[in-house]
Amino acid sequence: MSEAFEPGVVLAARDIVKTYGATRALKGVNFEIHRGKVTTLFGENGAGKSTLMKILSGVTTPTSGEIVLDGTPVTFASTVDARDRGVSIIHQELSLAPNMSVRDNIFLGREIRTATGVDYAEETRQAAALMRELEEDIDPATPVEELRLGQQQIVEIARALSVNARILIMDEPTSALSASEVEVLFKVIRDLTSRGVSIVYISHHLEEALQITDYAVVLRDGAMTATADRSAIDLEWIVRHMVGEHYDRGSPPTGYAFGDVALSVSGASVEDKNKGVLLVDNLSLDVRAGEIVCIYGLMGAGRTELLESIAGRVPLVGGDVRLLNRSLNGLSIAQRIDRGLVLVPEDRQRDGLVQTMSVGENLTLASIASFVRNLLTQPGKEKSIVQDSIRDVHIKTAGGKAAIGSLSGGNQQKVVIGKMLATGPKVILLDEPSRGIDIGAKAEVFRLLAEKASQGLAVVYSTSEVQECLSVAHRIIVMSKGRITAEFGPDVSKEDIMAASGEAVVH
């Protein structure tokens, strides 16, 4: 028999326990979702947030405990069962079919049918209406693979909105969105809650999440450590209950002199051939050995295109890239890696990891040439690389043979970084290295970068989070519309960075 159901609570998880073998992912969690309110779930990677949400959305079932919907215990046999009862989820990692159109992704598995077949015209009309609601100029006929990551995230959100859910779970919905797109999403959320829709919101962007929160719940090591309404919480409260200590953003490493120029970019230009515009416009930048440079800008500023052109993933239409004063123009990605230039891409799931490979296999993927002789691998050397990487990059894993999917988002990101560091680079480029990872993992990633820089590695990382500029960077470069608009030292204010990017400063 279920406990008394409080007025205003639409769904409750009672004494939820979930075990995987000897691991207790959830330890008797009690969680309530309030009608027409935003309940924000905070916690580090591995705290149990995603496991709880998978239970509430029918992806998996609890080992023990019960789910109570509108005062009645229920069991969700599948995600379709949960969706039919009004519970829908937007997963952190995109689950779109890249070769299908925006429209077909939105209605995949629940097509609008008539007596003669699928009503594509009505699907197109509804998809276009969703894009207008989200203030995104995307043609429903566009293949998803042609969209940038932030636009793919918008499609994922549109798909969830299209089912008219009573309870909508949003797991890191803004991880790839620009500030303006986040603002639109928050307007949509408030519109939904005004109509009685309940939102569960999960985000590692703590300050951002505070803007939308009505109720806050904190998970730590599979247990609920705190809950409160918005009036009783602030950033310090969240961090204290998440990690038990104040978050240290870190500071630029000191105590050594920079070396010679390691990376030199001169007059670099990258073109969007479909639109005939320059995404990177005659940009020049030098980075010295041991220096950490942060490139800040809003979505569309050209950060990703700049890093990908330096790494050889997209072609330059003008300019020159030099590594240790040797031109890289015309070299392939693999040849640039051999020279000592590596890139950690923004989308670790799609571009950074092979999901069917183990942790060790992913770690050695970029440095495989160092332990292969006459088409045969040298197991001893390969094992040594894996063990050294796990130790040096501080990856929390059961070992090199563990499945990459068994790791938290933060540890998966460290595998991608470790894979590139195993090649012995002179310059490492990182595109949004903290996307979708928690504050503790962010701190570990930035500490690692600071450590490697102090050993002579030139580090360039991009971010759309202004707070991350103020961590370990010796120099902050601000980009807007493909050009550098400002350059600052580590003592710059958050407001100055935002103003230089063209972002409105809210006081």
Tens digit of each residue's pLDDT, the chain (507 residues): 345 556 789 999 999 999 877 778 899 999 999 999 999 998 876 788 888 999 999 999 999 999 999 999 999 999 889 988 999 888 766 778 889 999 999 999 889 999 999 999 999 999 999 999 888 889 999 999 888 877 888 888 888 888 878 999 988 888 767 777 788 888 888 988 998 989 999 987 788 889 999 999 999 888 998 999 999 998 888 878 876 654 556 789 999 999 999 999 999 999 987 777 899 999 999 999 999 999 998 767 899 999 999 999 999 999 999 999 999 999 999 999 999 999 998 877 777 788 888 888 888 887 777 766 666 666 777 788 888 888 887 788 888 888 888 887 778 888 888 888 888 999 999 998 887 676 777 788 888 899 999 999 999 999 887 778 888 999 999 998 899 999 999 999 888 887 888 754 443
* Residues 133 and 276 occupy one common structural domain: no
Is 117 contained in some domain? yes
Is 434 contained in some domain? yes
H/E run at residue 475? strand 475-480
Whether the Cβ atoms of residue 498 and residue 470 lie closer than 8 Å to each other: no
> Of 190, 225, 243, which residue is a domain's last?
243
Query: What pLDDT score was predicted for residue 504?
Result: 43
Q: At what angle do helices 409-421 and 439-454 cross, to 10 degrees?
A: 20
Whether the Cβ atoms of residue 49 and residue 1 lie closer than 8 Å to each other: no
Q: What are phi and psi of 134, to 5 degrees?
A: -90, 5
* Residues 77 and 149 occupy one common structural domain: yes
Is 4 contained in some domain? no
Residue 399 burial (CB < 10 Å; 0-12/13-18/19+)? Answer: exposed
> Which DSSP state fits 90?
E
* Residues 395 and 475 occupy one common structural domain: no
* Residues 500 and 446 occupy one common structural domain: yes
What distance in Å separates the CA atoms of residue 4 and residue 2, rounded to the nearest whole number?
Answer: 7
- Number of domains forming the structure of the chain: 3
Question: For 260-398, where are the E strands, in sequence order?
Answer: 261-272, 277-288, 292-296, 318-323, 326-327, 341-344, 372-373, 376-377
Whether the Cβ atoms of residue 199 and residue 205 lie closer than 8 Å to each other: no
What distance in Å separates the CA atoms of residue 341 and residue 357, rounded to the nearest whole number?
Answer: 24
* Residues 418 and 430 occupy one common structural domain: no
Give the structural domain span for 276.
Answer: 248-340+426-507
Is 70 contained in some domain? yes
Question: For 236-394, where are the E strands, in sequence order?
Answer: 261-272, 277-288, 292-296, 318-323, 326-327, 341-344, 372-373, 376-377
* Residues 219 and 102 occupy one common structural domain: yes
* Residues 267 and 126 occupy one common structural domain: no
What distance in Å separates the CA atoms of residue 424 and residue 422, rounded to the nearest whole number?
Answer: 5
What distance in Å separates the CA atoms of residue 340 and residue 342, rounded to the nearest whole number?
Answer: 7
> Which DSSP state fits 503?
P
Q: Could you tell me the two tokens for 269?
A: 């230009």
* Residues 359 and 334 occupy one common structural domain: no
What distance in Å separates the CA atoms of residue 484 and residue 468, rounded to the nearest whole number?
Answer: 18
Whether the Cβ atoms of residue 431 and residue 345 lie closer than 8 Å to each other: yes
What letters, b where the CB count within 10 A reaches 16 and e where it falls short, cover 315-324?
A: ebeebebbbb
What distance in Å separates the CA atoms of residue 35 and residue 192, rounded to the nearest whole number?
Answer: 11
> Of 399, 424, 449, which residue is a domain's last?
424
* Residues 204 and 70 occupy one common structural domain: yes
Whether the Cβ atoms of residue 31 and residue 13 lie closer than 8 Å to each other: yes
> Of 176, 210, 243, which residue is a domain's last?
243
19-26: long-range contacts at Cβ-Cβ below 8 A with a sequence spacing of 24 or more? 19/63, 24/222, 25/51, 25/222, 26/51, 26/52, 26/55, 26/62, 26/222, 26/223
Is 1 contained in some domain? no
* Residues 401 and 441 occupy one common structural domain: no
Is 99 contained in some domain? yes
Is 316 contained in some domain? yes
Question: Domain containing 331 — which CATH number?
Answer: 3.40.50.300
How many CB atoms are closer than 10 A to CB 451? 14
Q: What are phi and psi of 328, to 5 degrees?
A: -105, 0
What distance in Å separates the CA atoms of residue 295 and residue 309, rounded to the nearest whole number?
Answer: 15
* Residues 413 and 462 occupy one common structural domain: no
Q: Could you tell me the two tokens for 462?
A: 């991009």
* Residues 87 and 143 occupy one common structural domain: yes
Is 2 contained in some domain? no
What distance in Å separates the CA atoms of residue 54 and residue 92, rounded to the nearest whole number?
Answer: 12
Size of the chain in residues: 507
